[in-house]
């Protein structure tokens, strides 16, 4: 298993989302704060493939897990966090 460090921008590209800083900030602003009772992969704004990817990376503690955790934290914050 490759434990390479991935960047936030790469995660957004992997998810098929705008991966530039304004795009990432807009996405987080539009979907924050995510309620504490909702698992990241179960959030209603993901399509099936995105949700499966996020779920798999966390469950398997795969190489994207760290940056997925960062996304989870950013979406739960009441304000934008630096990435």
Domain range for 51 is: 8-76
Q: Are 1 and 62 in contact (CB under 8 A)?
A: yes
The enclosing domain of 46 has a CATH number of 1.10.10.1130
* pLDDT for residue 1: 44
Backbone dihedral angles phi then psi of residue 2, each to the nearest 5 degrees = -85, 115
49 inside domain: yes
pTM for this predicted structure = 0.86
* pLDDT for residue 80: 52
pLDDT-derived band at 3, boundaries 50, 70, 90:
low
> pLDDT of 9-63, one tens digit each?
999 999 999 999 999 999 999 999 999 999 999 999 999 999 999 999 999 988 9
| H-only helix segments in the chain | 8-14, 21-31, 48-59, 65-76
Q: Which two tokens mark 50?
A: 């995105």
Q: Are 41 and 55 in contact (CB under 8 A)?
A: yes
17 inside domain: yes
Q: Is the peptide bond before 33 cis (omega within 30 degrees of 0)?
A: yes
Number of domains forming the structure of the chain: 1
């Amino acid at each position: 298993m490759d434990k390479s460090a991935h960047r936030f921008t790469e995660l957004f590209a992997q998810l098929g989302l705008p991966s530039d800083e304004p795009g990432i900030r807009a996405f987080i602003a539009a979907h924050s704060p995510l309620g504490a009772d909702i698992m990241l992969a179960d959030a209603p704004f993901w399509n099936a493939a995105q949700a499966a990817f996020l779920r798999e990376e966390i469950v398997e503690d795969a190489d994207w897990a760290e940056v997925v955790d960062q996304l989870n934290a950013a979406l739960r914050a009441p304000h934008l966090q630096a990435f």
